[in-house]
Amino acid sequence: MQTTTRARTPHPPTRNSRRSRGSGRVTRRIRHGVSLLCVSAAVTALAACGGGSSDIPATESSVSEIPTKFADVSIAEPARSVARSCLAPSAPDAGAPDAARIAVTDISLLDPLCALGEQTKVVAVTAERSALPYYLGPTVTNLPALGSAPDPARARDTHPDVVLTTDPASAAARAFGTAKVVTIDPKADWRTRFLAVSAALGRAQTGTARLSDVDDYARAVGAGVDARHTQVSLVRVLDSSTVLPGVDSFAGQILTLMGADRPKPQRGAQVTLTDDNFDDADGDIIYVSYPAGETSQSRAEALLKSDRWLSLGAVGWKREFISDDYVWYEGQGVIAARWVVADLQRTINGATS
């Protein structure tokens, strides 16, 4: 896709056809496909609680200068305090078994465990430590990581009561020997996976309640920011294409929960952004993201500096933000959902400076 072809004539006074961009990049470190801002102090904290729509992430003051922009566009979450991402420990349902030691062979199952407050029972994760999702906080990123190809003897020495996996035939799952293996369908949507993990750990009631809590939280925040009167555009810059995520994307689902409006071209499935439909990226506000990696980052920077992009109405109004691609699209869990809602609450009625 060519991003510097003919610029659209702005509609005065709401559009600026050309606005200069700074060339500075925010320094980032990479963790499993996530661009994590290198910061020395945190400004947001997600309440660690037993659930409930009133548990709104709090904002704290920062004593350090924090990088807040990429290609002169403000970052929706300039720093995320993940120390309290996981919710409070949960009790098993009446009469249900309570596993004391859990092994995990797919990092996508760590968000459900974190949402149930059961992450401290994990005795092994078959992944590289660098792959553990940063947004779940230190109680997850410091879990025992056995590597993607664990030594069977070492795996068996962890003595798990249950092994949670998405592929029971994998070498990682078989490495734990005769331990009980519970398979979570990797093709199921994130809500179904969360309920499946909850049931596997004897916490079906807690799972239902905490899923309801995040729904209530999203709706409450959506009403508070009057999301239904804002057309929220999503733009995702990938290595070889730029797409407009639809309502079935993770971020799209959260926006729907919040009651947010979407530009008409984005009310269905994902579409690829081209020269012919470039204006479909516009909205009342635009959230741009890109997966970690030099290629997608360079493509995103080029897009954000292009004349065609600068001609969009939301950009002219400085109503554009950079969102955390991993949390908004790949996290796909209760904790990720809470962070997306918090990001939107902070920015949906704001403008970049």
- Angle at Cα 270 formed by Cα 194 and Cα 167, nearest 5°? 35
Task: Check whether 172 has a pLDDT greater than 60.
Answer: yes
pLDDT at 49: 36
Whether 28-85+213-347 shares its CATH topology with 102-202 is answered yes
pLDDT at 272: 98
Q: State whether residue 5 is helix, strand or coil.
A: coil
87 and 50 Cβ atoms separated by less than 8 Å: yes
Query: Which of 60, 38, 130 is CA-nearest to residue 342?
Result: 60
Distance of alpha carbon 113 from alpha carbon 115, whole angstroms: 5
What pLDDT digit, counting tens, does each position of 217-234 carry?
A: 999 999 999 999 999 999
pLDDT at 55: 42
169 and 150 Cβ atoms separated by less than 8 Å: no
Least confident of 22-26, 41-45, 84-88, 326-330: 41-45
What pLDDT digit, counting tens, does each position of 70-113 carry?
A: 999 999 988 888 999 999 999 999 999 999 999 999 999 999 99
Does 87 or 62 have the greater pLDDT score? 87
pLDDT at 176: 96
Please, what's the b/e burial string for 148-162 (b: 16 or more CB within 10 A of its CB; e: otherwise)? eebeeeebbebebbb
Count CB neighbours of 243 within 10 A: 16
Distance of alpha carbon 347 from alpha carbon 56, whole angstroms: 15
pLDDT at 352: 75
Model pTM?
0.83
Please, what's the b/e burial string for 336-353 (b: 16 or more CB within 10 A of its CB; e: otherwise)? bbbbbbbbbbbbbeeebe
pLDDT confidence band for 67 (50 / 70 / 90):
confident
Consecutive H or E run containing 28 = strand 28-31
Residues recorded for the chain: 353
Distance of alpha carbon 321 from alpha carbon 281, whole angstroms: 13
102-202: CATH topology is Rossmann fold (3.40.50)
225 and 344 Cβ atoms separated by less than 8 Å: yes
pLDDT at 121: 98
Share of the chain above pLDDT 90, in %: 78
Residue spans per domain, the chain:
28-85+213-347, 102-202
Task: Check whether 331 has a pLDDT greater than 70.
Answer: yes
Phi then psi dihedrals of residue 157, to 5 deg? -65, -15
Instruction: Give the helix ranges, DSSP H, for 204-268.
Output: 204-224, 250-258
Task: Check whether 28 has a pLDDT greater than 60.
Answer: no
pLDDT at 82: 93
Evaluate whether the domain defined by 28-85+213-347 bears CATH number 3.90.580.10.
Answer: no
What pLDDT digit, counting tens, does each position of 138-171 carry?
A: 999 999 999 999 999 999 999 999 999 999 999 9
DSSP 76-118: S-S--B-TT-SPPP-PPPTT----S-EEES-GGGHHHHHHHT-
278 and 303 Cβ atoms separated by less than 8 Å: no
What pLDDT digit, counting tens, does each position of 251-295 carry?
A: 999 999 999 999 999 999 999 999 999 999 999 999 999 999 999
**Is the Cα torsion angle 188, 145, 140, 32 positive or negative in sign?**
negative
pLDDT at 68: 87
pLDDT at 1: 52
Distance of alpha carbon 86 from alpha carbon 47, whole angstroms: 8
